[in-house]
C-alpha cells in the first residue's frame, strides 16, 4: 500500500503541465471550483446555454438553484454572501435576463456585497447589431459594479474570472459582472490550469496603515471625556468582530451600530447602546451631538444615519476608520482619518488606548433609553389595545429564537421594527437591504441566506407590499426546499409611505392602500404550509408552529393598519431633533 501511494504521488508530480483542450464554458466552471464555489443561483437561456450544458456534467460538484426570476438569483447570491462570508455567484443569460440583475447589482454595490455574476451574451460577431436578446450589459451595469468585463475570447476566461473573484471579495467588497459571448463559451482552447489572482497593479484593495494616524487617534480617544463609537458593516466585512469587541471593551466606549453593522456585536452587549439613524434609538442619535470624540468604524455616514449634515456632530472631533479612502471626508469631515482594514487598524488602536470606563457617560445613554422605553418601546412591545403591533411579534420571536436565528428583512416599517427589536447573538445575522432599500429583497435573500449558513434557522420578515414584489421565489423554495421561515407582517398598507403621508402630507393617502391575495392559499399553491393569525393569543403558538415545522412555513400576521415607527429623525432635521411621537413633530 505504502509503495503504491508513493508511486501515485510520484506519478502525480510527473503529470506534465501541458495544456488540455477545454471549452470556455468548462473553464468558467473550473474557475468556480478553484474559488471554492459550491452554490450557483441562476436561470438558463439562449446565450448562456453552452455554460449550462457544461454544468450538466458538474452537478455533483456545483449545486445550481433555479430561481424564478433573475432578480431573485442575485438577491439570493447576496443573502448567501452575507451569511457565509463567501462570494455569491449568479448565472443569467443575455438581454432581459441580464437587465433583471440590475436592481440586485445596485443593491450589492451600495451595500458592499461580494457577488460575481456571469451573463451570457450573443456571439461576438453579432455585438452591436441589435441581435435577439442582445443588450449592452457592460454599459448598463458600469455604474453599479465594482468591475465589469466582456469576454469575447475563451483564452481570457481563467484570468478574467480570477480577477473577478479577487476584486469582488478584496478591499471593500462589491459586485462584479462578467459578460461572456456565446462563441467564447463554445470555443475550445488550450487550458493550462487556473491561477488565483492576488495582485492587480492598478488596484489597491487595502490602504497602507499609517501608524501616525493611529497614534493621533489614540491620543484623541485617551483625552476624551465623552467618546462615542459608531460602527457599520465594515466590521463584519472585515471579519473584525473580535478586534472590535476588544477595542470597545478595553476603551470602555459606548458603541452604536448602523443597520448593516447590526449583529457584529451581540445586541445585549453592555456597551452596545443601540441603532443609529432615522428610526434608530433615541440616545445614540441625540448623544451624537454631545460626544466629544466620535469614532466611526467601517461606516459611511449615510444620510439616513446623519440626518442634516450641517447639524451633525459639529462639536465632536471625528476619527474615521475605513478601508475605502473615498469614504473619508465624503460626507463628514474627519479630524483623524485612519485608513486601512479595520482588522489591522483596530488592534493597533486597542494597544494604544487606555483601559477606561465612562459610567456617567454610559448612564446618559441609559437615561435616554429609559425615556424611549416609556414613550415608545413599552407600548410597542406590550400594547394596551387589541391591535397587534409588529414589535410584539418580534418580541415573541426573540423569546423563541433566543437571538440565534438569521433574520432577513425587506424594506419598510417591518424592517425598521425588526431591526429595532430583534436580538442577535452572532455576527452575520441581520440581512437587509440597507443602502438601496430594495423592496422584494427579503424572500430571495433569505433563500440565499439559508444556503449560506444551513446550520441556523433563517427567518424572512416581510411586509405585505414587498412580499408581492418577489413572491414567485416561493417556487424556488418549493423545488429546492431551503428551510426558510416566512413571516408577513401585514398592515394592509404600504406602511412606511403611509406613515410619511400621514406625518408630512396631511394624511393624503395616495396609492398606499394595497390589496393582498390570500397569502396562505398562495403558499399552499406552492406546497408550502401556512397560517394567518390576527389575534394576540395566537401569535406565540403560531410562531412556534412555524419554527417547529420541518421545512419552510409561511405565517401571515395581521398587524395594526396605521401604526407608526418611532422614534424618527424627520427628513431635513438634525439627529438631535429626533422625535418620539407624532405630537413632537
Partner 1 sequence: MTKQEYTITVYTENQIGLLNRIAIIFSRRKINIESLNTSPSEVESVHRFTIVINETEDVVRKLCRQIEKQVEVLKAYYNTQEEIVWQELALYKVPTDIIAEEVKVERLLREYGAKAIVIRKDYTVFEVTGHREETDNLIKVLEPYGLIEFVRSARVAIIKDSDGFHEKLKEFENREPGEDASENEFLNENEKVFSM
- Give the active site residues: 70, 132-133, 182, 496
- Element housing 252 (H / E): none
- In the complex with partner 1, the residue whose CB is nearer, 207 or 465, is 207
- In the complex with partner 1, the residue whose CB is nearer, 280 or 337, is 337
C-alpha dihedral (571, 574, 577, 580), degrees to nearest 10: 50
Nearest to 455 by CA among 83, 86, 64, 79: 83
Strand partners, 337: 320
Per-residue DSSP letter, 492: S
State in angstroms the smallest separation of the CB of 149 from partner 1: 8
- In the complex with partner 1, the residue whose CB is nearer, 60 or 198, is 198
State in angstroms the smallest separation of the CB of 207 from partner 1: 5
State in angstroms the smallest separation of the CB of 540 from partner 1: 49
- Residue 214: which residues within 8 A CB-CB, separation 6 or more? 338, 345, 348, 349, 352
Asked whether the bond before 567 is cis by omega within 30 degrees of 0, the reply is yes
State in angstroms the smallest separation of the CB of 326 from partner 1: 4
In the chain, the largest separation of any two C-alpha atoms, in whole Å, equals 86
Residue that has been written with the C-alpha cell 456571469 in this structure: 118
Strand partners, 338: 321
- In the complex with partner 1, the residue whose CB is nearer, 114 or 440, is 114
No. of helices (H) and no. of strands (E), the chain: 25, 20
- In the complex with partner 1, the residue whose CB is nearer, 328 or 554, is 328
Residue that has been written with the C-alpha cell 462639536 in this structure: 315
- In the complex with partner 1, the residue whose CB is nearer, 203 or 500, is 203
State in angstroms the smallest separation of the CB of 309 from partner 1: 13
Rounded to the nearest 10 degrees, what angle do helices 390-401 and 413-421 cross at? 40
**Three-class SS string for 261-310?**
CCCCCCCCCCCEEEECCCCCCHHHHHHHCCCCEEEEECCCCCHHHHECHH
Alpha carbon distance 425, 406 (integer Å): 10
State in angstroms the smallest separation of the CB of 532 from partner 1: 44
Phi, psi of 91 (to 5 degrees): -110, 135
Alpha carbon distance 51, 393 (integer Å): 45
Query: 8 in helix, strand or coil?
Result: helix
User: For binding to partner 1 (CB under 8 A), which residues are involved?
Assistant: 138-139, 142-143, 146-150, 167, 198-204, 207-208, 210, 324-326, 328-330, 337, 339
Angstrom distances, CA of residue 476 to CA of 176, 323, 471, 482: 24, 36, 10, 8
Cell of 277: 439613524
State in angstroms the smallest separation of the CB of 250 from partner 1: 26
Residue that has been written with the C-alpha cell 467618546 in this structure: 227
Alpha carbon distance 449, 415 (integer Å): 17
Alpha carbon distance 414, 459 (integer Å): 13
- In the complex with partner 1, the residue whose CB is nearer, 211 or 535, is 211
- In the complex with partner 1, the residue whose CB is nearer, 142 or 370, is 142
Residue that has been written with the C-alpha cell 423569546 in this structure: 399
Alpha carbon distance 570, 281 (integer Å): 14
What are the DSSP calls for 297-329, one per residue?
ES----HHHHBSGGGSSTTSEEEEEES-GGGTT
State in angstroms the smallest separation of the CB of 319 from partner 1: 15
State in angstroms the smallest separation of the CB of 327 from partner 1: 9
- In the complex with partner 1, the residue whose CB is nearer, 137 or 240, is 137
State in angstroms the smallest separation of the CB of 139 from partner 1: 6
- In the complex with partner 1, the residue whose CB is nearer, 210 or 269, is 210
Amino acid at each position: 500500500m505504502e509503495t503504491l501511494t508513493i508511486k501515485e504521488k510520484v506519478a502525480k508530480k510527473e503529470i506534465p503541465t501541458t495544456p488540455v483542450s477545454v471549452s470556455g464554458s468548462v473553464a468558467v466552471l473550473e474557475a468556480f471550483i478553484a474559488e471554492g464555489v459550491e452554490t450557483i443561483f441562476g436561470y438558463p437561456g439562449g446565450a448562456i446555454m453552452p455554460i449550462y450544458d457544461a454544468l450538466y456534467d458538474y452537478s455533483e460538484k456545483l449545486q445550481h438553484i433555479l430561481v424564478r426570476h433573475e432578480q431573485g438569483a442575485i438577491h439570493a447570491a447576496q443573502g448567501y454572501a452575507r451569511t457565509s462570508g463567501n462570494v455569491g455567484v449568479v448565472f443569467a443569460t443575455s438581454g432581459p435576463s441580464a437587465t433583471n440583475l440590475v436592481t440586485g447589482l445596485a443593491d450589492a454595490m451600495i451595500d458592499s456585497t461580494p457577488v460575481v455574476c456571469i451573463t451570457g451574451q450573443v456571439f461576438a460577431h453579432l455585438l452591436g447589431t441589435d441581435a435577439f436578446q442582445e443588450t449592452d450589459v457592460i454599459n448598463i451595469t458600469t455604474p453599479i459594479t465594482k468591475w465589469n468585463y466582456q469576454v469575447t475570447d475563451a483564452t481570457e476566461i481563467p484570468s478574467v474570472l480570477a480577477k473577478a473573484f479577487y476584486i469582488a471579495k478584496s478591499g471593500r467588497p462589491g459586485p462584479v459582472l462578467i459578460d461572456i459571448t456565446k462563441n467564447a463559451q463554445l470555443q475550445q482552447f488550450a487550458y493550462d490550469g487556473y491561477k488565483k489572482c492576488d495582485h492587480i497593479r492598478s488596484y489597491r484593495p487595502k490602504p497602507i496603515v499609517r501608524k501616525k494616524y493611529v497614534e493621533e487617534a489614540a491620543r484623541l480617544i485617551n483625552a476624551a471625556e465623552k467618546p462615542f463609537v459608531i460602527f457599520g458593516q465594515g466590521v463584519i466585512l472585515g471579519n473584525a468582530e473580535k478586534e472590535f469587541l476588544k477595542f470597545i471593551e478595553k476603551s470602555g466606549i459606548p458603541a452604536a451600530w448602523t443597520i448593516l453593522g447590526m449583529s457584529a456585536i451581540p445586541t445585549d452587549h453592555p456597551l452596545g447602546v443601540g441603532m443609529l439613524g432615522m428610526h434608530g434609538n433615541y440616545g445614540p442619535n441625540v448623544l451624537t451631538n454631545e460626544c466629544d470624540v466620535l469614532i466611526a468604524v467601517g461606516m459611511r455616514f449615510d444620510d439616513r444615519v446623519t440626518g442634516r449634515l450641517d447639524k451633525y456632530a459639529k462639536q465632536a472631533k471625528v476619527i474615521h476608520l475605513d478601508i475605502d479612502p473615498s469614504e473619508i471626508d465624503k460626507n463628514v469631515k474627519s479630524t483623524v482619518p485612519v485608513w486601512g482594514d479595520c482588522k489591522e487598524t483596530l488592534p493597533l488602536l486597542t494597544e494604544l488606548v487606555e483601559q477606561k470606563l465612562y459610567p456617567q457617560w454610559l448612564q446618559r445613554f441609559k437615561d435616554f433609553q429609559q425615556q424611549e422605553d416609556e414613550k415608545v418601546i413599552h407600548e410597542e412591545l406590550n400594547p394596551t389595545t387589541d391591535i397587534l403591533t409588529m414589535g410584539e411579534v418580534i418580541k415573541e420571536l426573540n423569546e423563541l429564537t433566543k437571538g440565534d436565528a438569521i433574520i432577513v428583512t425587506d424594506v419598510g416599517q417591518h424592517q425598521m421594527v425588526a431591526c429595532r427589536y430583534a436580538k442577535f447573538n452572532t455576527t452575520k445575522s441581520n440581512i437587509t437591504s440597507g443602502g438601496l432599500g430594495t423592496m422584494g429583497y427579503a424572500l430571495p435573500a433569505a433563500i440565499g441566506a439559508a444556503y449560506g449558513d444551513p446550520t441556523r434557522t433563517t427567518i424572512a420578515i416581510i411586509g405585505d407590499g414587498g412580499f408581492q414584489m418577489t413572491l414567485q421565489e416561493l417556487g424556488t423554495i418549493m423545488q429546492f426546499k431551503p428551510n426558510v421561515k416566512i413571516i408577513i407582517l401585514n398592515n394592509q398598507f404600504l406602511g412606511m409611505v403611509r406613515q410619511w403621508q400621514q406625518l408630512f402630507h396631511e394624511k393624503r393617502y395616495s396609492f398606499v392602500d394595497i390589496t393582498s391575495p390570500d397569502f396562505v392559499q398562495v403558499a399552499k399553491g406552492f406546497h408550502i404550509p401556512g397560517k394567518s393569525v390576527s389575534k394576540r393569543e395566537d401569535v406565540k403558538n403560531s410562531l412556534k408552529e412555524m419554527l417547529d415545522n420541518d421545512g419552510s412555513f409561511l405565517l401571515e400576521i395581521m398587524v395594526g393598519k396605521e401604526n407608526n415607527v418611532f422614534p424618527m429623525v424627520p427628513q431635513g432635521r438634525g439627529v438631535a431633533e429626533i422625535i418620539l411621537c407624532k405630537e413632537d413633530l
